[in-house]
């Protein structure tokens, strides 16, 4: 594994690239340990998943992946106060017993934002709200950028035995929710376990959404070499591996953006755009590529499941790429991203680009 160098002390993201070999997959048991699985499960809240593959695999993907409506992830939009999340059957059934993910509206670096994952409530607060709430937290943000608008982060493990009414810590949180953090907020809600009966969510009139796959096919383009030369891998030449990883990730990202610069017949003036597909132009091959996209509030486990399904569905020698992008954390739109590429003609080999957003 190697990481790209950090050009500035104020940079808040870093990309780690891993080359490895996947182990045997059991379709009945979702893998969780080792890469790339651990990188996918470490993501907080996935906003978009992109699957890229050659067009000759389209019928396989449609038959075994996109045609099944039961595979599409579902989520809800609901308006609740933070106090309503922490009271009654909702708190008991969904947080203490069940497993849910929730994310409130807003930008983490400018608004008061709440999130709930694996029973941990995380609050990103401005200084005034933090001081009025009377909760214990720590400064949030990249060091050196906290001077103008200081922000704070507060966390509670709601599954802890001490998180009950009558306990000092929980009562302090409940008091802050009643007197300070009491504004109704729009949340995205995803249930990762069974649904209680009766469902406590229904009393808040949620709106249900389904992330149906969006298929973009027939992208005629010039294909780069999607696998480094064997000599580069054997010698573990860091510079050449970094160059291959950078160029390939850029090419995959431009497909996700549906950039016309990748089209085989693109004739833009090189003065306006200096991009060229990686590799030797004399050895360049032309081919058609497809992209399938799911967008919404997607659990990381669903991303792991879809990767397993794709690996088991497509031929062993075919290449494909799967990318999962989290919700942007700031005004600049920066977000964590995880991209897996299985190169062509490989025996379980993979490249993993793991872009982490540092707080």
305 and 346 fall within a common domain: yes
- Closest listed residue to residue 76, CA positions, set 92, 98, 100: 100
144 and 172 fall within a common domain: yes
36 and 157 fall within a common domain: no
252 and 206 fall within a common domain: no
SS3 per-residue string spanning 129-189: HHHHHCCCCEEECCCCCCCCCCEEEEEEECCCCCCCCCCHHHHHHHHHHHHCCCCCEEEEE
226 and 302 fall within a common domain: yes
68 and 103 fall within a common domain: no
The count of other CB atoms within 10 Å of the CB of residue 31 is: 18
Q: Using CA atoms, how far apart are residues 322 and 306, in angstroms rounded to an integer?
A: 9
Q: Using CA atoms, how far apart are residues 60 and 157, in angstroms rounded to an integer?
A: 43
- Render pLDDT for 167-190 as a digit per residue (tens, 0 to 9): 888 999 999 999 999 999 999 999
Which of 210, 237, 261 is the endpoint of a domain? 210
Does pLDDT of 71 surpass 60? yes
Query: What predicted TM-score, i.e. pTM, was given to this entire model?
Result: 0.88
55 and 84 fall within a common domain: no
Which of 210, 237, 259 is the endpoint of a domain? 210
* Backbone CA torsion sign across 193, 196, 200, 206: positive
Region of residue 119 (phi > 0: left; psi between -120 and 50: alpha; otherwise: beta): left
321 and 228 fall within a common domain: yes
Residue ranges in the chain assigned as alpha helix (H): 37-41, 58-61, 82-85, 88-89, 127-133, 168-179, 230-235, 238-256, 300-313
326 and 206 fall within a common domain: no
Task: Identify the pLDDT of residue 10.
Answer: 44
244 and 316 fall within a common domain: yes
- Render pLDDT for 299-355 as a digit per residue (tens, 0 to 9): 999 999 999 999 999 998 999 999 999 987 754 446 688 999 999 988 788 999 998
- Render pLDDT for 260-285 as a digit per residue (tens, 0 to 9): 877 777 777 777 877 777 877 666 78
The count of other CB atoms within 10 Å of the CB of residue 99 is: 17
- Render pLDDT for 159-172 as a digit per residue (tens, 0 to 9): 999 998 888 889 99
CA 66 to chain centroid, in Å, comes to 20
Maximum mean pLDDT: which of 38-47, 95-104, 214-223: 95-104
**Which residue pairs, CB below 8 angstroms and at least 24 apart, start in 100-103?**
100/189, 100/190, 100/191, 100/192, 100/193, 101/45, 101/189, 101/190, 101/192, 101/297, 101/299, 102/187, 102/188, 102/189, 102/190, 103/45, 103/187, 103/188, 103/297, 103/327
223 and 309 fall within a common domain: yes
Domain count, the chain: 2
The answer to whether 123 and 154 are in contact (CB under 8 A) is yes
- Render pLDDT for 290-315 as a digit per residue (tens, 0 to 9): 999 999 999 999 999 999 999 999 99
206 and 217 fall within a common domain: no
Task: Identify the pLDDT of residue 232.
Answer: 66
Which of 188, 210, 232 is the endpoint of a domain? 210
Say how many Å lie between the first and final Cα of the chain, rounded: 22
Domain span including residue 282: 2-72+213-357
């Amino acid at each position: 594994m190697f990481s790209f160098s950090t050009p500035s002390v104020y940079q808040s993201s870093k990309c780690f690239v891993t080359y490895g070999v996947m182990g045997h997959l059991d379709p009945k048991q979702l893998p969780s340990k080792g890469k790339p699985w651990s990188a996918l499960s470490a993501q907080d809240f996935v906003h978009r998943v992109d699957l890229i593959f050659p067009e000759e695999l389209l019928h396989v993907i449609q038959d075994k992946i996109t045609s099944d409506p039961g595979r599409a992830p579902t989520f809800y939009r609901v308006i609740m106060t933070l106090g309503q999340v922490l009271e009654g059957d909702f708190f008991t059934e969904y947080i203490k017993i069940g497993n849910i993910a929730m994310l409130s509206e807003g930008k983490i670096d400018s608004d008061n934002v709440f999130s709930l994952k694996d029973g941990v409530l995380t609050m990103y607060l401005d200084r005034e709200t933090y001081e009025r709430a009377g909760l214990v937290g720590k400064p949030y943000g990249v060091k050196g950028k906290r001077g103008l608008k200081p922000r704070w982060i507060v966390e509670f493990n709601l599954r802890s035995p001490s998180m009950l009414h009558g306990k000092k810590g929980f009562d302090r949180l409940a008091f802050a929710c009643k007197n300070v953090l009491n504004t109704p907020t729009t949340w995205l809600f995803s249930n990762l376990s069974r649904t209680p009966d009766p469902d406590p969510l229904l009393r808040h009139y949620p709106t249900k959404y389904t992330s149906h796959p969006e298929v973009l096919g027939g992208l005629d383009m010039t294909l780069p070499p999607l696998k480094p030369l064997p000599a580069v891998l054997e010698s573990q030449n860091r510079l050449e591996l970094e160059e291959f990883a950078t160029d390939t990730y850029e090419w995959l990202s431009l497909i996700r953006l549906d950039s016309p610069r990748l089209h085989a017949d693109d004739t833009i003036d090189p003065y306006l755009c200096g991009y060229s597909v990686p590799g030797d132009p004399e050895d360049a091959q032309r081919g058609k590529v497809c992209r399938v996209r799911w967008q919404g509030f997607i659990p990381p486990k669903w991303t792991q499941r879809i990767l397993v399904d794709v690996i088991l569905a497509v031929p062993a020698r075919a290449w494909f790429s799967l990318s999962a992008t989290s919700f942007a954390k700031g005004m600049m739109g920066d977000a964590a991203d995880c991209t897996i590429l299985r190169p062509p003609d490989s025996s379980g080999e993979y490249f993993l680009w793991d872009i982490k957003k540092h707080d």
